[in-house]
Structure 1
């Protein structure tokens, strides 16, 4: 009698749903590592508990560390009323200057 491989057992656990979850989680970690340039991890823990009639109860735990992109900060100014705004209320305005939006900025980056 040949031994059943770990991969075969893995595909049997929870009727194959564990294998599906591991596949999805691995893809999530791989994609995040590629997009962030940072490392990640995937850990599978399988616990085996013997029963009284020769059976084994297997429980699994999946843990992953998915790297995240660094988030930028926003700079805002408080008004005397306690509101936040992007322009410094103490800064004087100069006529003729144009404020650019995100689309304008993206166009400038391409040049």
Structure 2
């Protein structure tokens, strides 16, 4: 869709790019059985449904490769936390999408 929009209309505004990234995140959430994603003060909390079928090894590799940007909380074992920091909406949605794609 992004390529078609660029071909037809030229440079895509940042808001449209963010919207397309959010659509990709929704698709990934369905694949991973993610119940919710909530972002507050630069931290995205990703809650997996109780029946999620994710690879623990992929999650551990993501944490190891993230240089502290991805963390677990022992009191919330069905969640991972992404430190998005103070970045724009486009960058934030792309960051979250990139991290989730690594555990598909």
If the length of structure 1 is used for normalisation, what is the TM-score? 0.28
Question: More helix per residue: 1 or 2?
Answer: 2
Which of the two has higher C-alpha Rg? 1
Larger RCO (CA under 8 A, 6+ residues apart): 2
